[in-house]
Amino acid sequence: MPVFDRLIRDVTLATMTGGGAPYGLIEQAAVGITDGRISFAGPGSAVPKDAITPETQVESQPGHLLAPGLIDCHTHLVFAGNRANEFEARLTGVSYADIAKAGGGIKASVAATRAASEDELVALALPRLARLKAGGVTTIEIKSGYGLTLEDELKMLRAAIRLEEETGVTVLTTLLAAHAMPPEYADRADAYVDHICAEIIPAAAELADAVDAYCETIAFSPEQVKRIFAHAIAEGMDVKLHADQLSNLEGGALAAEYGALSADHLEYLSDAGVAAMAEAGTVAVLLPGAFYNLREKTLPPVEKLRAAGVPMAIATDMNPGTSPVADLALMPHMACTLFGLTPEEALAGVTINAARALGIEDDRGSIEEGKAADLCLYPVSHPRDLVYWIGGVKPVKVIKDGEDF
């Protein structure tokens, strides 16, 4: 047993390891940290005494809960502009699809983002990420997709990477050039897909961890997405998909066919899509913020996903048009009240299953020996309290790689 740099004891642990007690709960527990990683997690009575030295920082936190750092696995955090006018329009009965067709929606954010410099994008995104960080987020995925040119997509990815340098939050980047049709390619969708495949994906391979696409009647067809995914995989990149949000194009099955890390939204996911995702191990990422803000009526098929054993993650979908929310701690409550998840499923959705949706479950998302010591300390005694309160419970302390964050 390595010597502890830090020992947090007299806490309740929500390890989120799955199996055994709900939430992976351990009472009167302790966590030992060595070189930024978890070197012990278990009952306080089992802490090895020889791992504690006079140099070990020992903290007693009775009455507190220690849980994994939160992971926001689907965001569009980097953007410029404001779309409050669209929110107002939707309240008068204008649909999201009609707004998009009229030049609003994603295209409005594209115009503003193109006009902003990389430095401006970083400055605009920092307060959003600061709010997420204060709520316990230690890892985040950030997509491009508001540039839609080679230069602007790369600008967005560079800005996202700089946010990790500025804040210490672990950032995973996703290329979403197939988010909407740029005005330069109006009525030439296949030509734009050619451009994505031949130029944007190879140029972004050094900056992006994964490639995403928006498969929808108002965006890209399944055939076009397949071409994009084939090129991404050839570049050694993971893939994921905005799937079956507004209609059923069998996006879930398409994502599974290509071994996607996740398929996201899924309000119109079919039974065949559920089965394909279960077989492929593709995570279902549910986005209650967008569902709520768009006032959707069709629910994602949570019961079928549960029965098939498809892991369910939850994310903010933080974006300027359909989910302007920078509070991941709110999402588990919304997933329970809107979608019918249990509190345990909801908390798993922003920890271990969110890690699975990013392909980092071996390193983060649960409190287990060998994983990064990304932790949140809460002033509650049971993890269900984190989901019960509307807006969640804010942590009194966030630890990143073993250090106070």
Classify strands 403-404 and 312-314 as parallel, antiparallel or unpaired: unpaired
Closest CA to 323 of 76, 122, 136: 76
Longest CA pairwise span in the chain (Å): 70
The response to whether 76 counts as a known ligand-binding position is yes
Report long-range pairs for 272-275 (Cβ below 8 Å, ≥24 apart).
Answer: 273/243, 273/244, 273/248, 274/301, 274/304, 274/305, 274/308, 274/310, 275/308
Q: What is the band of 60 on the pLDDT scale with cuts at 50, 70, 90?
A: very high
Q: What is the band of 1 on the pLDDT scale with cuts at 50, 70, 90?
A: confident
Using the predicted structure, report yes or no on whether residue 18 has a pLDDT greater than 90: no
Segment 370-380 shows an average pLDDT of 98
Rounded Cα distance between 228 and 208, Å, is 14
Closest CA to 266 of 258, 131, 47, 253: 253
- Phi and psi at 314, nearest 5°, equal -135, 140
Using the predicted structure, report yes or no on whether residue 103 has a pLDDT greater than 80: no
Residues 6 or more apart whose CB falls under 8 angstroms from that of 41 comprise: 13, 15, 26, 29, 30, 31, 32, 367, 368, 369
pLDDT for 242-285, tens place per residue? 999 999 999 999 999 999 999 999 999 999 999 999 999 999 99
pTM above 0.75, yes or no: yes
Amino acid in position 389: W
Rounded Cα distance between 72 and 330, Å, is 12
Q: Going along 155-265, which residue ranges are E strands?
A: 170-178, 210-215, 238-243, 262-265
Using the predicted structure, report yes or no on whether residue 20 has a pLDDT greater than 90: no
Tokens of 161: 């990477």
The response to whether 293 counts as a known ligand-binding position is no
Buried b / exposed e along 360-397 (16+ C-beta atoms within 10 A): bbeebbbbbeebbbbbbbbebebbbebbeeeebbbbeb
Average pLDDT, the chain: 96
The response to whether 319 counts as a known ligand-binding position is yes
Segment 298-310 shows an average pLDDT of 98
Is residue 339 within 8 Å of 299, Cβ to Cβ? yes
Closest CA to 37 of 11, 5, 9: 5
For residue 273, what are the CA distances in angstroms to 32, 210, 221, 291, 360? 42, 21, 16, 20, 24
The response to whether 248 counts as a known ligand-binding position is no
The response to whether 298 counts as a known ligand-binding position is no
Is residue 301 within 8 Å of 272, Cβ to Cβ? no
Using the predicted structure, report yes or no on whether residue 84 has a pLDDT greater than 80: yes
34 or 107: whose pLDDT is higher? 34
Using the predicted structure, report yes or no on whether residue 100 has a pLDDT greater than 80: no
Name the helix (H) or strand (E) containing 290: helix 288-293
The response to whether 57 counts as a known ligand-binding position is no
For residue 234, the model assigns a pLDDT of 98
- Phi and psi at 263, nearest 5°, equal -125, 130
The response to whether 9 counts as a known ligand-binding position is no
The response to whether 322 counts as a known ligand-binding position is yes
Q: What is the band of 105 on the pLDDT scale with cuts at 50, 70, 90?
A: confident
Residue tagged 């998840």 (tokens): 341
Rounded Cα distance between 32 and 5, Å, is 8
Is residue 245 within 8 Å of 273, Cβ to Cβ? no
The response to whether 74 counts as a known ligand-binding position is yes
In 10-147, alpha helices (H): 84-91, 96-101, 106-115, 118-134
